[in-house]
Amino acid sequence: MEVIIQDNAESASRVGAEIVKKIVTAKQNAILGLATGQTPLLLYRELVRMHRKEGLDFSGCTTFNLDEYVGLDKDHPASYNSYMRNNLFKHLNIPDDQINIPDGMSDDIPSVCINYEKKIAKLGGIDLQILGIGADGHIAFNEPISSLKSRTRIKTLMKQTKRDNAQFFNGDIDQVPNHVITMGVATIMDSQICLMLAFGEEKAKAIAATIEGPISAMVPASALQMHQNTIVIIDEAAASKLNKTQYYRYVYENKPQWQKY
């Protein structure tokens, strides 16, 4: 695991965007795993800037989103379909038929989940998976005690997660669906590179548990300790409960030139 600590969310997101750019430039038909929530917004804004100003071409990319609410219409303003359209897809040049988000409106959710896994595998797997983290240590919507071997499936949200996400539902927790379809921990672990971003004091405890705690299904993100190429980019506040920050900074500052992003 590589831990990169930046002064603030803006510079952290710029470093993250450079990593995405490197992948998209190196592999014209890159498979990108995408996340929603507050955390990746600045990274997405930077990717849009790179597309517009630097001609970064996404036309060959295929995307798979981590999750979607069950029972929320694609056009509902809080759906992850709407989020992705508004914050990223309408600004980039990814063809619609190369965009994948779990269908939370399907009558046959088990089939949606199986087919999602099959499609990722058929295309050769995810090259780069962007991740946020929940205050409870979830990745995607793999809440505590999710199997670390889990695959795409339906999950029930914890009350805390519903509370955190109520901001996207006019602050009304009762409007947040109880159920979601989410990639599993093992689905995420199959990605070539995992790129996790986390900002703010409210993420500090989950970040410390993920990076320096024991691997535990109580903190699903801690499974990333078993992943061969995970990069965690955090601001000072999210880093505030880590013990080995001096070492992480030293490693980053002394990276060999060829390893730099």
| Contacts to ligand PGA by CB under 6 A | 37-39, 132-134, 138
- Closer by beta carbon to ligand PGA, 168 or else 248: 168
Minimal distance in Å, beta carbon 16 to ligand PGA? 13
Minimal distance in Å, beta carbon 128 to ligand PGA? 17
- Closer by beta carbon to ligand PGA, 38 or else 245: 38
Set 68, 103, 127, 136: catalytic member:
136
Residue 143 annotated to the active site: yes
Closest listed residue to residue 119, CA positions, set 108, 111, 128, 129: 111
Residue nearest to ligand PGA according to CB distances in the complex? 37
Q: Which long-range contacts (CB under 8 A, 24 or more apart) does 251-256 make?
A: 251/2, 251/3, 252/2, 252/3, 252/4, 252/5
Residue 67 annotated to the active site: yes
CA distance 246 to 114: 43
Set 46, 68, 127, 143: catalytic member:
143
CA distance 38 to 176: 16
Residues constituting the chain: 261
At residue 181, what are phi and psi to the nearest 5 degrees? -105, 130
Set 46, 68, 76, 138: catalytic member:
138
- Closer by beta carbon to ligand PGA, 4 or else 139: 139
Minimal distance in Å, beta carbon 132 to ligand PGA? 3
Minimal distance in Å, beta carbon 190 to ligand PGA? 19
Residue 201 annotated to the active site: no
Set 67, 68, 164, 235: catalytic member:
67
Residue 51 annotated to the active site: no
- Closer by beta carbon to ligand PGA, 135 or else 186: 135
Q: Is 55 left (phi over 0), alpha (psi -120 to 50) or beta?
A: left
Closest listed residue to residue 210, CA positions, set 157, 161, 155, 142: 142
- Closer by beta carbon to ligand PGA, 56 or else 188: 188
What token pair was written down for 29?
């038909």
Closest listed residue to residue 193, CA positions, set 232, 154, 164, 162: 232
At residue 165, what are phi and psi to the nearest 5 degrees? -95, -5
Minimal distance in Å, beta carbon 167 to ligand PGA? 8
- The catalytic residue positions are 67, 136, 138, 143
